[in-house]
């Protein structure tokens, strides 16, 4: 496929996906979802890539789903557009590699939903967040109604979903939507530093921590604890042994990918 919307730059175990449609503030259209799906397959199969970073070109992260494209849809097409987007974001969420959203600007509607499907959100102090769908007589369609309450609680989520308000990165941080706010020029260096830190840890442990935490959210507490014990013990066949041995020998661990 001839990629048009998502640029990928990979170096030092980190793949940076840049959504590159700045003339429409990186609004998400059908082509975007096709590209995202293929890019995720590619990243999933590449053993040299351990961490994924998603950001936007220009002044927006993503200003939502493409309103011009949606305005031409009938209910059937809208349902399909929503299902395709939900599936792509779910695939992103379940990727066996940590995904960091580097939110450089507007993260509205579908853009906020994209950030929600990432594991961690680091924002520029210039970023803005919101779910303005109700201003258009719509509701979120990429699982924002499901992920937002799980992440920031029902009250905060309904505040954003009812009001359609745009909030600052700092307000988003206070709600737990964003983990860290930095000056615009520090955004990518901070995200890369975090990505490099994660990439230096035990790769199997990182993969499992994501899997267990995410699966656990969908389980009752006891089943989640059982899953944790199973995966905890699985590390005693390989990576955990090396990590603990390295600690006791006062040397850096030698991980195997
Ligand atoms: N879709 C399409 N085009 C867009 C979008 C968008 N979401 N956002 C901005 N653009 C375009 C503008 O139309 C404009 O194009 P042009 O230059 O051709 O007129 C260009 O980007 C630049 O935008 P502005 O001139 O508006 O830039 P400003 O800096 O003045 O304003 C804003 C920035 C405040 C972000 C403003 O652009 C805005 O309000 N955008 C729309 C935000 C929004 O409502 N997003 C939610 C969309 S709905 C949604 O995401 C639902 C997701 C679920 C879908 C489920 C599938 C059915």
CATH class of the domain comprising 203-248? mainly alpha
Q: Give the Cα separation of 1 and 74 in Å (integer).
A: 28
Q: Give the Cα separation of 199 and 71 in Å (integer).
A: 42
Quote the tokens at residue 223. Answer: 């089943």
User: Given the DSSP bridges, would you call strands 120-124 and 180-182 parallel, antiparallel or unpaired?
Assistant: parallel
Residue with the smallest CA separation from ligand 1 atom 44 is: 132
Does ligand 1 come within 6 angstroms of the Cβ of 127?
no
- CATH 1.10.12 in the chain is located at 203-248
pLDDT by residue for the chain (257 residues), tens only, comes to: 778 899 999 998 999 999 999 999 999 999 999 999 999 999 999 999 999 999 999 999 999 999 999 999 999 999 999 999 999 999 999 999 999 999 999 999 999 999 999 999 999 999 999 999 999 999 999 999 999 999 999 999 999 999 999 999 999 999 999 999 999 999 999 999 999 999 999 999 999 999 999 999 999 999 999 999 999 999 999 999 999 999 999 999 999 87
> What does each C-alpha distance from 229 to 153, 221, 247 come to in angstroms?
28, 12, 22
> What does each C-alpha distance from 252 to 135, 136, 202, 207, 245 come to in angstroms?
54, 54, 11, 20, 10
Does ligand 1 come within 6 angstroms of the Cβ of 130?
no
Quote the tokens at residue 206. Answer: 């990182």
Residue with the smallest CA separation from ligand 1 atom 7 is: 64
| CATH match of 6-199 with 3.40.50.10860 | no
3-state secondary structure of 12: coil
Closest ligand 1 atom to 131 CA: 46
Does ligand 1 come within 6 angstroms of the Cβ of 78?
yes
Residue with tokens 């206070």: 174
Does ligand 1 come within 6 angstroms of the Cβ of 64?
yes
The catalytically annotated residue of 47, 133, 242, 249 is 133
| Residues sharing a CB contact under 8 Å with residue 15, sequence separation 6 or more, in sequence order | 8, 9, 43, 46, 49, 51, 52, 53
* Cα 68 to ligand 1 centre (Å): 9
Query: Is 133 annotated in the active site?
Result: yes
Does ligand 1 come within 6 angstroms of the Cβ of 106?
yes
Whether the CB-CB separation of 140 and 198 falls below 8 Å is answered with: no
- CATH 3.90.226.10 in the chain is located at 6-199
> Quick one: which of 35, 6, 1 has its CA closest to 22?
6
Does ligand 1 come within 6 angstroms of the Cβ of 133?
yes
Q: Give the Cα separation of 257 and 239 in Å (integer).
A: 10
Residue with the smallest CA separation from ligand 1 atom 21 is: 24
């Amino acid at each position: 496929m001839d990629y048009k919307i998502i640029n990928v730059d990979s170096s030092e175990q980190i793949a940076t996906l840049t959504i590159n449609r700045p003339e429409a503030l990186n609004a998400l259209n059908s082509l975007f979802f096709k590209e995202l799906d293929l890019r995720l397959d590619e990243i999933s199969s590449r053993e040299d890539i351990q961490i994924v970073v998603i950001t936007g070109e220009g002044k927006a992260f993503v200003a939502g789903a493409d309103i011009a494209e949606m305005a031409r849809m009938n209910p059937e097409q809208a349902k399909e557009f929503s299902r395709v987007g939900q599936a792509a974001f779910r695939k992103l969420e379940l990727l066996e590699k940590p995904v960091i959203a580097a939110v450089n600007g507007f993260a509205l509607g579908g853009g906020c939903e994209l950030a929600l499907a990432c594991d961690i959100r680091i924002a520029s102090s210039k970023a803005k967040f919101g779910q303005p769908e109700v201003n258009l007589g719509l509701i979120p369609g990429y699982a924002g109604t499901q992920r937002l309450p799980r992440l920031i609680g029902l009250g905060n989520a309904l505040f954003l979903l009812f009001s359609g308000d745009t909030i600052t990165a700092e307000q988003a941080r206070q709600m737990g939507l964003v983990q860290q706010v930095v000056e615009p020029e520090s955004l990518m260096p901070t995200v890369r530093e975090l990505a490099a830190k994660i990439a230096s840890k035990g790769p199997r442990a990182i993969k499992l921590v994501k899997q267990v935490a995410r699966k656990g959210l969908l389980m009752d507490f006891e089943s989640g604890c059982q899953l944790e014990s199973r995966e905890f013990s699985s590390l005693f066949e390989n990576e955990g042994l090396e990590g603990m041995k390295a600690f006791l020998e006062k040397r850096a661990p030698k991980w195997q990918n």
